[in-house]
């Protein structure tokens, strides 16, 4: 079964359970927000990463990834000039089945994807191992980047943990997109364990490291 959703293409990936603030200034996305506010709750739209192109401009987007995440409006502030500040929360992954005409804004037919954890015994063993590795990764970034990184206790729930790590790890967008596309929590955690090991090996081989952006709530301008 598919459903029609307004789409918000971004140069970043949104994951279920993560908060995404948005500053909306383009006219087409002002229209999107106005349409959402005029409709019933939950007021949701699809966030989907840009594969080719850029966020702004009439000809900015030339290709989108096929997997995205629905976002629900939690807080809206409208400025006198028509701009919006939004706080949204990621909810469900979806597959883009068909893209509609982009006027007045992007929309498409999407199929919501199931959230499966994977084999229970394997997940129970994977969670503490990935938690330890992620903490080691953060400690290494702190040591090499001279950054003071403070995190709360990591969740034990495997899907939430897998999405939190995917949002926080400092890698390029295609890698983050691949983590979103993993079919279940166990395979996402396994991919993250391999990714964290590779990233730590690379960081140790470098004299300098880029400043980490360990923000779980990236700020995007459309």
CATH class of 120-205: mainly alpha
Sequence spans of domains, the chain? 3-113, 120-205
pLDDT exceeds 80 at position 7: yes
Q: Is the CB of residue 9 less than 8 Å from the CB of residue 156?
A: no
- Contacts (Cβ under 8 Å, ≥6 apart) of 96: 7, 46, 48, 64, 65, 66, 67, 68, 108, 109, 110
The pLDDT score that the predictor gives to residue 208 is 54
pLDDT tens per residue, range 127-137:
999 999 999 99
Helix residue ranges per DSSP H, 53-119: none
pLDDT band (50, 70, 90) for residue 204 = confident
- Comparison of pLDDT for 178 and 140, the residue scoring more: 178
The pLDDT score that the predictor gives to residue 216 is 39
The pLDDT score that the predictor gives to residue 147 is 57
Q: What's the whole-model pTM score?
A: 0.87
pLDDT tens per residue, range 39-58:
999 999 999 999 988 766 55
pLDDT tens per residue, range 148-189:
666 778 999 999 999 999 999 999 999 999 999 999 999 999
pLDDT band (50, 70, 90) for residue 215 = very low
Q: Does domain 3-113 have CATH number 2.30.130.40?
A: yes
Q: Is the CB of residue 54 less than 8 Å from the CB of residue 78?
A: no
pLDDT tens per residue, range 68-105:
999 999 999 999 999 999 999 999 999 999 998 777 89
């Amino acid at each position: 079964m598919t459903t029609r959703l307004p789409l918000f293409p971004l140069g970043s990936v949104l994951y279920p359970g993560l908060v995404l603030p948005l500053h909306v200034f383009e006219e087409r996305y002002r229209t999107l927000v106005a349409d959402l506010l005029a409709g019933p709750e939950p007021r949701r739209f699809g966030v989907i990463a840009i594969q080719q192109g850029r966020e702004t401009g009439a000809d900015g987007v030339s290709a989108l990834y096929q997997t995205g995440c629905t976002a629900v409006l939690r807080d809206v502030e409208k400025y006198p000039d028509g701009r919006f500040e939004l706080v949204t929360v990621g909810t469900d992954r979806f597959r883009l089945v068909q893209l509609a005409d982009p006027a007045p804004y992007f929309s498409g037919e999407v199929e919501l994807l199931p959230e499966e954890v994977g084999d229970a015994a394997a997940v129970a063993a994977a969670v503490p191992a990935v938690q330890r590795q992620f903490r080691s990764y953060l400690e290494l970034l702190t040591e090499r980047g001279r950054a003071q990184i403070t995190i709360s206790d990591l969740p034990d729930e495997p899907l939430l943990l897998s999405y939190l790590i995917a949002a926080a790890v400092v890698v390029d967008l295609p890698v983050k997109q691949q983590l979103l596309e993993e079919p279940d929590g166990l395979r996402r955690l396994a991919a993250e364990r391999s990714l964290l090991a590779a990233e730590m090996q690379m960081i140790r081989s470098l004299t300098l490291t880029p400043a980490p952006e360990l923000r779980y709530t990236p700020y995007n301008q459309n």
